[in-house]
Amino acid sequence: MLIPGGWHAAWCWWPVAKRLRAAGHRSIALTLPGLNDGEDPSGYRLTDAVDYVVSQVRGLELDVILVAHSWGGYPATGAAALLAEQVSKVIYFNALVPVCGKSLVDDHPPAGRDLLLHLINDSPDGAIAPTLAYVEELFMQDTAPILQRMVADLLTPQPGGYFLDALHVDPAALTVPTAYIASENDCAPQWSAAEFASRLGVEPVYVPGTHLSMLTHPDEVAEAIMAA
């Protein structure tokens, strides 16, 4: 089960999902509540995302591997803690690994924390609108401008409540195996891949590309997921 990060939806995982299916794996990419095109992003809290992942996994009645990108590490971690009997592994891909008791905003250095709070508080719907600059500077800085603009057009506003709420789960204490895959030139997360992987007690495995290398290097990302 493939979980997207902030501003993204199921579409960002489709190239990798296609390759996983070709290798014989059932693969489902999720769009989390509030992130569908045209959907009102106001009022959502982190528990809404966690509960949605839990409901999707329980509806399958199968053992599931959760693969989380970026902010998707938060709902994936929360869901895994509730689904130990059904989740066989959690794979974090360029993902934020939560600190128990800290929100995403609280896990940023002061300048980043202040910026996120400003963006959320100044928004009439409490959401952070996507911009082309995010794609150009953080998500796909090594990609052709025409592709950057296309991806920017696909992004949707991120519910601010998803960034404000803490998880009271220690990722290192999850009762399922974990793995961390990172792109070599990812500059989007606030901390390094080594730092995030250390929160799980694992070493990162690297693939080519930037934060959205599941779009630019889907073969390598799919292979790394299957090998994790």
pLDDT digits (tens, 9 = 90+) for 99-148: 999 999 999 999 999 999 999 999 999 999 999 999 999 999 999 999 99
pLDDT digits (tens, 9 = 90+) for 172-228: 999 999 999 999 999 999 999 999 999 999 999 999 999 999 999 999 999 999 999
Residue 198 contacts residue 126 (beta carbons within 8 Å): no
Cβ atoms within 10 A of the Cβ of 23, count? Answer: 11
pLDDT at 98: 98
Phi and psi of 118, rounded to 5°? -60, -45
What average pLDDT score do residues 20-43 get? Answer: 97
44: pLDDT confidence band, cut at 50, 70 and 90?
A: very high
Element (H, E) at 172: none
Instruction: Give the pair of three-digit tokens for residue 114.
Output: 């202040």
3-state secondary structure of 178: strand
The whole-angstrom separation of Cα 184 and Cα 15 is: 19
pLDDT at 52: 99
3-state secondary structure of 81: helix
Indicate whether 84 pLDDT > 90.
no
Domain spans in the chain, listed from the N-terminal domain onward: 2-227
> Where would I find the H helices in 29-86?
46-58, 73-82
So what CATH class is 2-227? alpha beta
The whole-angstrom separation of Cα 133 and Cα 102 is: 27
pLDDT at 61: 80
Indicate whether 20 pLDDT > 90.
yes
Indicate whether 62 pLDDT > 90.
no
In eight-state DSSP terms, residue 60 is T
